[in-house]
Structure 1
């Protein structure tokens, strides 16, 4: 594979043609006038209509834009050049030679990202709406470029990523192509004259643990906006049964940009409507979505169901066993299975495979510590969250409990609030187990 500097000059790379190329050439002249740019743009009716539509959708004025010249005045010379570039690339690359690359899905995803960036820009105010539109539209341009230059090799990358989705696609790209879509995309956009303030966040937004290494709030806001736009496009194009599981994380991210649930339904509804309108205009397939509030209700139910635990309470003392069950009832609608001795507890655990066991240290037949140690020695017991309980809370018993494999050690006088805090960790473990099971099932189906 060729180094990045050589790759940037490869004639197969996506590049503007026709009117877009002429507009870019004009923009490099210091004495160019908006009238000259308008004359060139007007020779392309499709581009003219798109620029006028975008100018109107971004305008705060009650008077609509009706001419190309007025659209260019409102959007500015540099923005018009960037938009012409983006629309030119879309028209040229609706299909291609990379068999595994879904060109329609790519442009549908990119279009929704563009519109989401523009809509978020009206709230966050970190850039002109048209500049944010092109930033979203071209955010993934490196993927299109790699699919265009290396169609067979990139098919192999996509196949490898599908078989091993735990690794990011960028890792698979670097392993086979010596570069990745982010690095190449940033280089291409920089060569096209797109400002660094919009290209630098592209290096960070796909890594959820990264923010800008500067303290500049604008850069960090752009990273968050790109993540939110990308996440919404992922949700819109995901299978219907997967969307509810994706929404809670998206809503948590939206709150960081002050997009709150009380108005997010209207925000997304309007955005999806605009996506459909633009899809018709650009001949890009878009997906019908149910009302976002309905999707959230399903997501909320799924999250609630995932937070409910199956809990075995093993205690030979009727009083403390009933007390523990009452505390669990206060902590949520968990399914609780009471049992009075260690042997019965072991049999029930191996049959039910619960999420949690709360076992008293002084359990009859097999005490709580022995039960814990035995379960940790078998594969079936390794993923169960084990809480050992005793009437006296001493350092000695606590050390023995943790050394024996317990996840938590509590007194029998524990409060409902403190017990609920222990169950939060158990719920996290249960969600992790469910995620791993789903990922393995998904990989198995792909094979």
Structure 2
């Protein structure tokens, strides 16, 4: 039962089978991860049969903050326990969506641009999860990837009406207001409702709900929930920098510095963050056939942005 979208409307959307959803082997993996009496060797066999998922889990397992022993080279029971079944389930969901929901009937919706930014935000979420340890890196990757999934869902479920909204050129708050007026909910509420239906913890659903307007979440800045909202906000800014052209990128850097200050991240750390995300993003782009590129060095531009008056 959705807490974010009218339950009757959400059920109607689900019953119409137009919302993005997992299927096949990855759906089976998700279901197995939810079983109380799961047979881990059987789960290993399922994951081994999915090269993309297996490769991603091996990469996550070798993050230093997770793996403090020898490097992992294959999927086995120890790897699944190290990463966590929750993270395995979420990663299976995320990869299933990126491969299945690549085209649709909403001609005004840029599917390639959507997945390009979503993948960049996922990489930024993982890097920040590793750096700040507010939430596990594997889960931050998935949350970053799904943070904007409500826009894809609206393009899938209401292609004509949503296309009209997109054609008007509205963005940000104006876009959310137009969605609310047209559908009774906006893309953030729909994303949170979908994540809740996929059994994501409420902490992550709330982070997605508020991350585009973090200043107005109503949460205390010292609360872990708000720190997660802010982390997702920062991941979104890094993603915007990744997908922006060179001219637009420079206008985003002052905001990046402001968001970084909330986590006491100096410009050198932000430079490293953007560089790391850029490389991860390009690797994921090659794997998932998502348009990406490696960013040029942004250190000088960050230094110039830091010198700008308040």
Same fold, TM-score > 0.5, yes or no: yes
TM-score (norm 2): 0.89
TM-score (norm 1): 0.63
> Which range is displaced more, 93-102 or 166-175?
166-175
| 1:5 CA displacement | 3.6
Q: Which ranges in structure 1 are unaligned for 5 or more consecutive residues?
A: 308-447
Other-structure match for 2:124: 116
CA distance in 1, matches of 2:280, 2:159: 32
> In the alignment, is the contact (CA less than 8 A) between 1:212 and 1:223 conserved in 2?
no
| 1:190 CA displacement | 0.7
> In the alignment, is the contact (CA less than 8 A) between 2:176 and 2:187 conserved in 1?
yes
CA distance in 1, matches of 2:97, 2:112: 13
> In the alignment, is the contact (CA less than 8 A) between 1:108 and 1:285 conserved in 2?
yes
Mapping for residues 284-433 of structure 1, pairs under 5 Å = 284-299=290-305, 303=308
Change (3 A) 1:249 1:90: same
Across the aligned residues of Structure 1 and Structure 2, the Cα RMSD in angstroms comes to 2.2
Other-structure match for 1:157: 165
CA distance in 2, matches of 1:217, 1:60: 28
Aligned: 1:11 with 2:17: yes
Task: State which of 270, 274, 278 in structure 2 corresponds to 1:268.
Answer: 274
| 1:194 CA displacement | 0.8
Task: State which of 140, 144, 156 in structure 1 corresponds to 2:148.
Answer: 140
More RCO (CA 8 Å, sep 6+): 2
| 1:178 CA displacement | 2.4
CA distance in 2, matches of 1:130, 1:294: 31
Task: State which of 185, 191, 194 in structure 1 corresponds to 2:191.
Answer: 185
Change (3 A) 1:144 1:72: same
Aligned: 1:63 with 2:70: yes
> In the alignment, is the contact (CA less than 8 A) between 2:124 and 2:235 conserved in 1?
yes
Task: State which of 265, 281, 289 in structure 1 corresponds to 2:287.
Answer: 281
Task: State which of 26, 35, 46 in structure 2 corresponds to 1:40.
Answer: 46
> Which range is displaced more, 8-17 or 87-96?
8-17
> In the alignment, is the contact (CA less than 8 A) between 1:244 and 1:298 conserved in 2?
no
SS of the residue 1:207 aligns to: helix
Which structure has the highest helix share of the two? 2
| 1:209 CA displacement | 2.4
CA distance in 1, matches of 2:20, 2:238: 26
Task: State which of 236, 245, 257 in structure 1 corresponds to 2:242.
Answer: 236
| 1:61 CA displacement | 3.2
Change (3 A) 1:214 1:249: closer
Change (3 A) 1:85 1:106: same
> In the alignment, is the contact (CA less than 8 A) between 1:243 and 1:295 conserved in 2?
no
> In the alignment, is the contact (CA less than 8 A) between 1:27 and 1:78 conserved in 2?
yes
| 1:40 CA displacement | 1.5
Aligned: 1:245 with 2:245: no
> In the alignment, is the contact (CA less than 8 A) between 2:180 and 2:186 conserved in 1?
yes
Other-structure match for 2:3: none
> In the alignment, is the contact (CA less than 8 A) between 2:275 and 2:297 conserved in 1?
yes
Other-structure match for 2:137: 129
| 1:18 CA displacement | 0.5
> In the alignment, is the contact (CA less than 8 A) between 1:117 and 1:133 conserved in 2?
yes
> In the alignment, is the contact (CA less than 8 A) between 1:55 and 1:74 conserved in 2?
yes
Other-structure match for 2:56: 50
Q: Which ranges in structure 2 are unaligned for 5 or more consecutive residues?
A: 1-5
Change (3 A) 1:95 1:119: same
Q: Deviations over 1:70-94 (max 9, x none)?
A: 4322211121011001100111012
Rg larger for: 1
SS of the residue 1:206 aligns to: helix
CA distance in 2, matches of 1:152, 1:190: 26
| 1:222 CA displacement | 0.5
Query: How many correspondences in the alignment?
Result: 302
